[in-house]
Structure 1
Amino acid sequence: MKKTLLSIVAVLLLHSSFAQEKGHFGFSLGVSAPVGKFASKDIEKSYSGFAGIGSFFEISLAHKLGKRFGIITSLRRQSNTIDTEALSDGMSKLYLKDGYNVRDNVTAGNWKLATLMVGGYESFYIPEHKVFIEPRVMIGLAYAVLPEKRENLQSNYGYGWIQQDRATDFTFAYLVGTGFKWIIGKKTYFLTNIDYLSAKAKFTNIVNRTSGGSVEITSYTQKMSTVNIGLGIGIKL
């Protein structure tokens, strides 16, 4: 009976300690899925990003200002592939529509987005499940990368290529999401989160070269929106 009472007291003290916690330092990684214009594969729409499934890594610092509300900062890097097969098929059909029987084989790097954001969150503690539920809203700066791309063109008349160089842009980003923190030790949490991240980048001075020797400078605007699901570890402050 005495041991049982001591166990109950220990559990209550642990719950009380976490209920009064001041925040956490977290590391997370996960899957990044493009949505909207970023995921579109409509070759006739200039906003189509042809983005595919990617990944992200995040370092975050959350600090409570009271019992429920707090501020959070986040440094994140994510990368999304380009669906080169869909882009190649789309470009070939576009050339055919214009009267050219050309087979286009596209190779490309990855879309990249690095963000530094700050925002607010609210924390709800559910003691019976040893979990905090923490919705958050954040805004900040983003560094976006338009990947290099090469079109290898093949027709009955010969071979050629078009090369698009890499370009970058600084812009703004925002994030809306919810995190879950499960208590797994005196100082540690198991973190899960799901969020929506969006940034609109305008890439300028994009250099385009051709096998014929011509060079063209263009600009391009892309809305980069993703739904991200991550797992990680948190350390209690």
Structure 2
Amino acid sequence: MKPHDTLWRIGAFMFGGYGSFPVSDNISFDTRAMIGFASASSPKLDVTGSANGNTVWIEQESADASAFAYLVGAGFQFGVGDNISLLTNLDYLGTGPEFSEVETKTSDGNTSTSTWEQSIGTINLSVGIAYKL
């Protein structure tokens, strides 16, 4: 199994609005709201165990799905020079992709497919520097 096969992955293409509201001469409160589409991948799952002295296993294939996504965020901009600001942001991204017809095999020879919706939410804290041209 490749290392990246064990990870959940998500990426999104978003568009939306941004607002910046001055709090003082050097500080502003920034907000943003976006909508778009997210693409997610579930990892391949291999589970092995013992039952009544026998080794049993279940394999679920990896899967890809896309869904509507949204992002809301806020942060502060702290002016520290004529053209330089420190940035802090906190964002939440939410989506719910539906993984369809994912194949599962078991050690007793059974194979099945299933479909499920997976709610995904991420919280991102970022800190950075901005240079105003």
- The two structures have a TM-score, normalised by structure 2, of 0.83
Determine the structure 2 residue equivalent to 1:225: 121
* Structure 1 residues 119 and 211, CA gap change in structure 2 (3 angstroms): same
Determine the structure 2 residue equivalent to 1:143: 39
* Structure 1 residues 131 and 154, CA gap change in structure 2 (3 angstroms): same
Letter in 2 for 1:119: G
Letter in 1 for 2:54: G
Which SS does the other structure have where 2:71 is aligned?
Answer: strand
Determine the structure 1 residue equivalent to 2:23: 126
Determine the structure 2 residue equivalent to 1:109: 6
Aligned residues: 129
* Structure 1 residues 235 and 140, CA gap change in structure 2 (3 angstroms): farther
Task: Tell me how far 1:225 sits from its aligned partner.
Answer: 2.0
Task: Tell me how far 1:169 sits from its aligned partner.
Answer: 0.8
Equivalent residue for 1:168, pick from 52, 55, 64: 64
- Percent identity reads 35
* Structure 1 residues 163 and 235, CA gap change in structure 2 (3 angstroms): farther
Task: Tell me how far 1:178 sits from its aligned partner.
Answer: 0.4
1:23-61, CA deviations, whole angstroms, 9 ceiling, x for partnerless residues? xxxxxxxxxxxxxxxxxxxxxxxxxxxxxxxxxxxxxxx
Letter in 1 for 2:79: I
Distance (whole Å) between structure 2 residues aligned to residue 190 and residue 119 of structure 1: 23
- The two structures have a TM-score, normalised by structure 1, of 0.49
Which SS does the other structure have where 2:64 is aligned?
Answer: strand
* Structure 1 residues 235 and 116, CA gap change in structure 2 (3 angstroms): farther
Determine the structure 1 residue equivalent to 2:85: 189
Identify the structure with the greater strand proportion: 2
1:140-166, CA deviations, whole angstroms, 9 ceiling, x for partnerless residues? 110111222222121233111101111
Runs of 4+ in 1 over 6 A off after TM superposition: none
Distance (whole Å) between structure 2 residues aligned to residue 212 and residue 236 of structure 1: 64
Which SS does the other structure have where 2:98 is aligned?
Answer: strand
Which segments of 5 or more consecutive residues in structure 2 lack a partner in the other structure? none
Distance (whole Å) between structure 2 residues aligned to residue 191 and residue 182 of structure 1: 6
Which segments of 5 or more consecutive residues in structure 1 lack a partner in the other structure? 1-107
Which SS does the other structure have where 1:123 is aligned?
Answer: strand
What CA RMSD, in Å, does the superposition of the two structures yield over aligned residues? Answer: 2.0
